[in-house]
Structure 1
């Protein structure tokens, strides 16, 4: 493999390439707010900044660009990315009390690899805080997803690979205001439809929504909206995380064990597609 190909792919082993032969890559996209980002500020966790070690991480292709937790509903600056290169599965740059960020992508990727899946890429484009209005077409997170995915797919194309977006993983809703909560289902339906049109090779992309867990009527509305949408569609799945409510270390963010479990639940849902 020549130096140009290695540069454009990051670490070649990530795509299990033993030669310069072009591959067809399956792309899984993760987006959402802080629990998608995966906070690490829980002082009760043992070494929260890092997920447990797993040798498969070096074989799992990963590309990310994450936005700030500090701005809540305002403009959120990019706090870390993979420098425009496809690399391997890992924790990402932190901010404030969070020394790093890592979320459900970790255990999802590991479970997928352990199942025998190869030649897949996880793209993560998440932000801290913010209601679902940020994911409306033309708004910050929607545009951020397009920019992030276009950079990643350009690296694939330059290396001769083809690709298909197969799955959207979504974990969002804790910061929805009352109005946003009441249309959470509609907003996600529009997000999926728009991404299918605007992302290359994403016409048949399926979606999996991970449920939020905070207490409150507004959060109940978000959960019900997302659940009802999934029940009405064959191309969207929803799973509840209410049983992990006691593992919200600050009543909002999941602890280390819960993040790993949610990654596993995404994999279980993915396996049912």
Structure 2
């Protein structure tokens, strides 16, 4: 019998609504704006979640995250909150005691776009470089690609497949990138060339040819002038690119890893830069 012809008893209708109401919002079929997050330790995040306010630590119904840093992962999509970060000496499971810019990013995006739903796909690992780890190699030839690039594309495929299986719809809206400390000895030109090759191949492999890209500055410890100049040049290269400065930030160690307040601030700056790109695209 066709569904349209079925006669539903009042009790059955009540049970159906109770079941729907009892299902967490993040598990219900929805339309998501997907953002990709990649890079090394400052994208993975070394901010201490204990230094956030209770409101900042609160999981959000309208934002989910798929985190993968092999061998650790979020075990599928989870409500966004602190802890999707793996510091070098951390031996436990996710969620961990640390976080990255994803929290401030989601907070700011949802504040200005409250009707939207966010799905963040995060693949990041400390100490990685563009030369080997994130090398995009030749399309379709994993043997030529760096391990982090292969893992990231695989993570995107796994995450979007799960969204499809859940019945969700989605659009990949942009890439957030924070990396460069491990490439501080490169020339400005070499970093730009390698990163733009990475972006070009990623756009091909995930079939989003105009994927917006926002890059974040590494902290200025006086020894990263070349890579900081390269990041600024990339972020200011024109339509489809944006820049997040590290001005006014601080680190909890000797000039490398952003503290909790700075991680939150950087996330907000990523949101502002992404929204600037989106506004430009909607008003050509």
TM-score between both structures, scaled by the size of structure 1: 0.79
Please tell me the root mean square deviation across aligned C-alpha atoms, in Å: 2.6
Which residue does the alignment assign to 2:161?
A: 154
Which residue does the alignment assign to 1:124?
A: 122
Q: Is the 8 A contact 1:24 1:161 kept in 2?
A: yes
Runs of 4+ in 1 over 6 A off after TM superposition: none
3-state DSSP class of the match of 2:232?
A: helix
Which residue does the alignment assign to 1:243?
A: 248
3-state DSSP class of the match of 2:248?
A: helix
Which residue does the alignment assign to 1:269?
A: 273
1:211 and 2:217 aligned: yes
Of the two, which has the highest radius of gyration?
A: 2
**Could you tell me how far apart the structure 1 residues matched to 2:88 and 2:166 are?**
37
**Shift of residue 122 of structure 1?**
0.7
Gapped runs of 5+ residues in structure 1? Answer: 67-77
Q: Is the 8 A contact 1:131 1:177 kept in 2?
A: no
Structure 1 residues 214 and 159: alpha-carbon distance in aligned structure 2, compared to 1, 3 A threshold: same
Per-residue Cα deviation, 1:64-109 (whole angstroms, up to 9, x for no partner):
012xxxxxxxxxxx252111x2111121264455553310001101
Gapped runs of 5+ residues in structure 2? Answer: 1-15, 91-95, 137-144, 278-284
**Could you tell me how far apart the structure 2 residues matched to 1:142 and 1:230 are?**
21
**Could you tell me how far apart the structure 2 residues matched to 1:227 and 1:258 are?**
19
Which residue does the alignment assign to 1:228?
A: 233
**Could you tell me how far apart the structure 1 residues matched to 2:122 and 2:110 are?**
17
**Shift of residue 231 of structure 1?**
2.4
1:104 and 2:101 aligned: yes
Structure 1 residues 125 and 117: alpha-carbon distance in aligned structure 2, compared to 1, 3 A threshold: farther
Structure 1 residues 243 and 182: alpha-carbon distance in aligned structure 2, compared to 1, 3 A threshold: farther
Which residue does the alignment assign to 2:25?
A: 13
**Shift of residue 270 of structure 1?**
1.5
Q: Is the 8 A contact 1:132 1:180 kept in 2?
A: no
1:136 and 2:148 aligned: no
Structure 1 residues 257 and 177: alpha-carbon distance in aligned structure 2, compared to 1, 3 A threshold: closer
TM-score between both structures, scaled by the size of structure 2: 0.76
